[in-house]
Structure 1
Amino acid sequence: MNDMAKTTPYGSWRSPIDAALAAAHDGHPAFVGFVGDEVWWTEPRPAEGGRRALVRRRPDGSEESVLPAPWNVRSRVIEYGGLPWAAAARPGEPRGPLVVFADFTDQRLYAHEPDVPEAEPRPLTPLSGVGGGLRFADPRVHADRGEVWCVLEEFTGDAPTDVRRVVVAVPLDGSAAEDRSGLRELSDGRHRFVTGPRLSPDGTRAAWLAWDHPRMPWDGTELLVADVGADGTFAAAQVLAGGPTESIAQADWAHDGRLLYSSDRSGWWNLYRAEPDGTASALCPREEEFGGPLWQLGLNWFAPLDSGLIAVVHGTGATALGVLDPETGEVVDAAGPWSEWSASLAVHGTRVAGIAASPRSAYEVVELDTRTGRARVIGAAHDDPVDPTYYPEPQIRTFLGPSGHEIHAHIYPPHHPGHVAPGGELPPYVVWAHGGPTSRAPLVLDLAIAYFTSRGIGVAEVNYSGSTGYGRAYRNRLREQWGIADVDDCAAVALALADEGTADRARLAIRGGSAGGWTAAASLTTTDVYACGTIIYPVLDLASWQDGQTHDFESRYLETLVGPYAEVPGRYEERSPARHADRITAPFLLLQGLDDVVCLPAQCELLLTRMQRRGVPHAYIAFEGEGTGSGARTP
């Protein structure tokens, strides 16, 4: 601390981290892949209309956008999207690589040859005027077959649940660009949700994941395998693993032709290998996660190397990048400062590329050389926008909930190099409830948190019951308890901070977006813990989800979070904040995107109508053209 630090009250410290700076650094690189020797990834471009650019790292270390603005490489499948691009390196081909991508504007698949002068992207798939149209995600280019295999999401009517999903083969020659019948369906359409298929090294078998309502993918999925005929058609699919109570997060083929998959059958997502005799071998049985929730299609927590080793993202709470020897079960982690690795890995020879962050750095593209064990940043390198002495210094804490259960949280005390508070003053604290709710708050640098801490306001990120990263039992604590367990856990952390003398009991607040907005709103209607709250694009009325007022992916989510509506309709009424606005006595700010198809603006309007003439200070800000936001770390 600076000896010349000013003594000023908490909450009044002047900071160079303002809202504009925090917003400019929202979002991070994603979906990394190798194209020959080059590493490619997507990254946000706030100054270019918020588009997602596809970026390549040239052999000389320079970075360049593969596509100019306004091309926006982003899929809308299941609304949260998924892997939006794939490429074939085509060594020896003078025209260079061929990339296939989904454009956000019309959701068509396009093919592009970026090394061909004056080349323009050409469409591979048609438009549809029905409902949400045709959407594509999780592509795999099979240049030798003249096709790209991917997931097709096809709307059959105007309702958000009028939709089917199948695995399709899209011709690379553009013959299906205006003809829906040119998309060759590979899966049989029996399942509501599918992921993209992975073709075995010898080209004779394909594996993919599927699940059906009312399950979410972290509840139960099936690993399907089918023989692939010489003409590229799939034989009848067989279930290899998974089921209603077993979640398979990812499957892929090892180079020896054996199938690898991440399953939580033990209570933790661990890595398994399907043996020739039909049995499954646990490759590294641990009380750690080697998988996670499939909020997007095409996520991957492991990637097989040519050597037989497997690159893995694993951990409890925080995650690390390691290299697993499947014969011994030994994992050797990459050295470095990173505490969080995204579910995006790519391998090429002995190289592993991933996306990682730490409490002192935002997400960066990192490459590990498995021969030397050296990991280094190769793309989207973190560049401090302010003096890093303004960054918060987080603490990993565990608290006890009302029933004595553990609650995991990250505590960010107020921190400023030039300010201290008067002796005896306790700081205000804001509890942050993450989105999902089947998600978690990662331990990474977030300038939105630094905005508060550098002003003298502490932040407590609570990975409440139901959060991922701590095993299936921890996730299952939220089953039928949404609006209770999450609210209780957040309150328990806030009150514990006050009781131990860390936070001012009279100046506790709560903030959250999407599912976290629900927790924030429910906290204001059911507790007296908080002096105020911020509710961001929230879920406020559970009954509306039963009326087809949300998207298909989460349309049955509440059956596990709250209970079957037909059996417990009163529970939906009792827990909905919009139905109990009369219980809110604390001031609040309500933010909403008017184009949000997940958490609808109508729910905010219902709450506001019931707040009229109650005399509780509140404000509502609606954003034209905004959908589901990312600021609450929703998936």
Structure 2
Amino acid sequence: MRTLAYGEWPSPIGAATAAAHDGSPEFTGFVGDEVWWTEPRPAEAGRRTLVRRHADGTEEPVLPAPWNVRTRVIEYGGRPWAGTVRDGAPLVVFANFADQRLYRYEPGTEPRPLTPVSPVGEGLRWADPVLLPERGEVWCVLEEFTGDGPSDVRRVLAAVPLDGSAAGDRDAVRELSDGRHRFVTGPRLSPDGRRACWIGWDHPRMPWDGTELLVADVAADGTLRDARTVAGGPEESVAQADWTHDGRLLHVSDRTGWWNLYRDGEPLCPREEEFGGPLWKLGHNWFAPLDDGLIAVLHGRGAPVLGILDPETGEVVDAVGPWTEFAPSVAALGERVVSVGAGPRSGHEVVELDTRTGRTRVIGARHEDAVDPAYYPEPQIRTFTGPDGREIHAQVHPPHHPGHTGPADELPPYVIWAHGGPTGRVPLVLDLEIAYFTSRGIGVAEVNYGGSTGYGREYRNRLRGRWGVVDVEDCAAVALALADEGTADRDRLAVRGGSAGGWTAAASLTGTGVYACGTISYPVLDLAGWGTGRPTTSSPSTWRA
């Protein structure tokens, strides 16, 4: 082991390698017996393609460049595709990023547009689709810009004909909901097709603040009637809703202070842990009902794990494997459950669980890096004490190198990372950006400051009215604690953040005196201007700050 100053260790992890690791598979689903998902292509201008896993296990990118399967609804987007099997072959509908139109695709043919291009404002956008071939329609969220002003936008549930008749005719799109809410998720139909449920909310609330779960009857002509609110409110966040195989309504609500799962209004597994999360993107799924009555769930404090819930006993059996984090991309078919999992030694992969055998395996987007795992970070889950004795959750990544160590009389520099959101959370997964620093002898501490999700509503609400205060204090508390305990060099502390985390980093640099330097990426700096801009879910909770 060679001794070399911290920050000067040679590393095989360059900026290009770290950048190529960016992104993860997302929005898994079944098309017949096949698993499909979207996957990033960093080397192809960052587009996302649709990937198909055949029955023999081979993967095939379905759409070549320049097709980009991604929607801009509420700017963060949402589920951009849906698929089924018709006449023995896949039928897929997807949103294309360049023009935001919906397209119909069948293998062996060119995609055909289903929706028109609007000359008004930023046009028409679509998300969270549900294919209903028996009706000849796809039901989804329609985001329509009606002018050039920041508030000239509306969102409703809509039905788009599958025959392409709306490709040049906006009037051929049927509107299903009445526009009572500024934001809506896509509909979920009961197994008998007679009821539909969806989630709605309005400014100034964000979806993790308060939403409403609506249910409507589906008439024979395909219209929605008697829409009524059955759960949720100004201080209750319903994050997801769906139906069991026998037509009972499932939903995730934080009415008790934790996102828990309910069936027809009754709690199925009341725990002080999260069975849901912030609805950043429409179509995020933290649970999926199985045909035998069991429910695949993501749950936990901080990092969510994949498990199978028996709603009759409230018992949860977790999947076995190396994954410490699962993304809200759960889908189920028969005894098969798929999601996207990752861990400290692997990036995000498509994982399948066989509920009959309990076997879990990687089936897609298998993580591979041209980096010796000996250079991977070795994270530590830590809890620190902040102002007023409050808990602060963090992940500490000490400097790590298989062939080098620092001088005995020297402490390493550390970078404090502030995540975005500000209601995000840093996942405990392999991140080569972190490895870029740790393999050079620079430590990293990722701080899940007050306001982060994954630790209950009380922890999340700490940031209300105190954005730029609580987050800054918590990051500083972690930095100083690392210095005080002899882990970090007090004179070589840095802070880094992007988006909402950029605001935290900027406020930290100007207001604390803790850091020697910092890095700010695509930051929120003009709060007044940001708060009066277009009301989309991509805007941080400036009205709460």
Aligned to 1:431, the other structure's residue is in SS state strand
Could you tell me how far apart the structure 1 residues matched to 2:183 and 2:529 are?
Answer: 23
Runs of 4+ aligned residues of structure 1 deviating over 4 Å after TM superposition are none
Kindly indicate whether the alpha-carbon contact (under 8 Å) linking 1:131 and 1:160 is maintained by their aligned counterparts in 2.
no
TM-score (norm 2): 0.99
CA RMSD after TM alignment: 0.9
Q: Which runs of 5+ in 2 are unaligned?
A: none
Kindly indicate whether the alpha-carbon contact (under 8 Å) linking 1:509 and 1:533 is maintained by their aligned counterparts in 2.
yes
Q: Deviations over 1:227-257 (max 9, x none)?
A: 0000000102100000000000000000110
1:328 maps to what in 2? 313
2:12 maps to what in 1? 16
Report whether the alignment pairs 1:316 with 2:301. yes
Q: How does 1:465-476 map to 2 (within 5 A)?
A: 465-476=450-461
* Structure 2 counterpart of 1:244, from 221, 224, 234: 234
* Structure 1 counterpart of 2:355, from 370, 378, 387: 370
What amino acid maps onto 2:291 in structure 1? D
Could you tell me how far apart the structure 1 residues matched to 2:293 and 2:503 are?
Answer: 45
Report whether the alignment pairs 1:158 with 2:148. yes
Kindly indicate whether the alpha-carbon contact (under 8 Å) linking 2:50 and 2:61 is maintained by their aligned counterparts in 1.
yes
Report whether the alignment pairs 1:557 with 2:545. no
Kindly indicate whether the alpha-carbon contact (under 8 Å) linking 2:422 and 2:540 is maintained by their aligned counterparts in 1.
no
Shift of 1:555: 5.0
What amino acid maps onto 2:141 in structure 1? V
Could you tell me how far apart the structure 2 residues matched to 1:555 and 1:337 are?
Answer: 35
2:59 maps to what in 1? 63
Shift of 1:109: 0.1
Percent identity between the aligned chains?
75
Kindly indicate whether the alpha-carbon contact (under 8 Å) linking 1:302 and 1:313 is maintained by their aligned counterparts in 2.
yes
Aligned to 2:408, the other structure's residue is in SS state coil
Report whether the alignment pairs 1:54 with 2:50. yes
2:183 maps to what in 1? 193
Could you tell me how far apart the structure 2 residues matched to 1:545 and 1:203 are?
Answer: 42
Kindly indicate whether the alpha-carbon contact (under 8 Å) linking 1:213 and 1:556 is maintained by their aligned counterparts in 2.
no
CA distance 1:410–1:555, change in 2 (3 Å) = closer
What amino acid maps onto 1:514 in structure 2? S
Q: How does 1:334-413 map to 2 (within 5 A)?
A: 334-413=319-398
Q: Deviations over 1:87-138 (max 9, x none)?
A: 0122xx15x1100000000000000101xx3x10000000011111000000
Could you tell me how far apart the structure 1 residues matched to 2:280 and 2:251 are?
Answer: 17
Aligned to 1:97, the other structure's residue is in SS state strand
What amino acid maps onto 2:132 in structure 1? H
Q: How does 1:167-566 map to 2 (within 5 A)?
A: 167-274=157-264, 280-548=265-533, 550=534, 552-554=536-538, 557-560=541-544, 562=545
Kindly indicate whether the alpha-carbon contact (under 8 Å) linking 1:366 and 1:379 is maintained by their aligned counterparts in 2.
yes
Kindly indicate whether the alpha-carbon contact (under 8 Å) linking 2:92 and 2:106 is maintained by their aligned counterparts in 1.
yes
Could you tell me how far apart the structure 1 residues matched to 2:447 and 2:134 are?
Answer: 49
Shift of 1:161: 2.3
Kindly indicate whether the alpha-carbon contact (under 8 Å) linking 1:101 and 1:110 is maintained by their aligned counterparts in 2.
yes
Q: Deviations over 1:382-406 (max 9, x none)?
A: 1132100000100000000011000
Shift of 1:47: 1.9
Larger strand fraction of residues: 2
What amino acid maps onto 2:258 in structure 1? W
Could you tell me how far apart the structure 1 residues matched to 2:286 and 2:278 are?
Answer: 11
Kindly indicate whether the alpha-carbon contact (under 8 Å) linking 1:113 and 1:121 is maintained by their aligned counterparts in 2.
yes
Aligned to 1:148, the other structure's residue is in SS state strand
Q: Deviations over 1:37-66 (max 9, x none)?
A: 110000111222211010001111110111
Could you tell me how far apart the structure 2 residues matched to 1:316 and 1:132 are?
Answer: 39
2:97 maps to what in 1? 104
TM-score (norm 1): 0.85
Could you tell me how far apart the structure 2 residues matched to 1:556 and 1:417 are?
Answer: 41
Could you tell me how far apart the structure 2 residues matched to 1:553 and 1:24 are?
Answer: 28
Shift of 1:160: 3.0
2:39 maps to what in 1? 43
Aligned to 2:79, the other structure's residue is in SS state coil
Shift of 1:554: 4.7
Could you tell me how far apart the structure 1 residues matched to 2:524 and 2:139 are?
Answer: 35
Kindly indicate whether the alpha-carbon contact (under 8 Å) linking 2:76 and 2:538 is maintained by their aligned counterparts in 1.
no
Could you tell me how far apart the structure 1 residues matched to 2:458 and 2:206 are?
Answer: 16
Could you tell me how far apart the structure 1 residues matched to 2:203 and 2:60 are?
Answer: 42
Aligned to 1:48, the other structure's residue is in SS state coil
Kindly indicate whether the alpha-carbon contact (under 8 Å) linking 2:500 and 2:540 is maintained by their aligned counterparts in 1.
no
What amino acid maps onto 1:110 in structure 2? Y
Kindly indicate whether the alpha-carbon contact (under 8 Å) linking 2:280 and 2:537 is maintained by their aligned counterparts in 1.
no
Q: Deviations over 1:147-174 (max 9, x none)?
A: 0000000001112321000000000000
What amino acid maps onto 1:487 in structure 2? V
Q: State the number of aligned residues.
A: 545
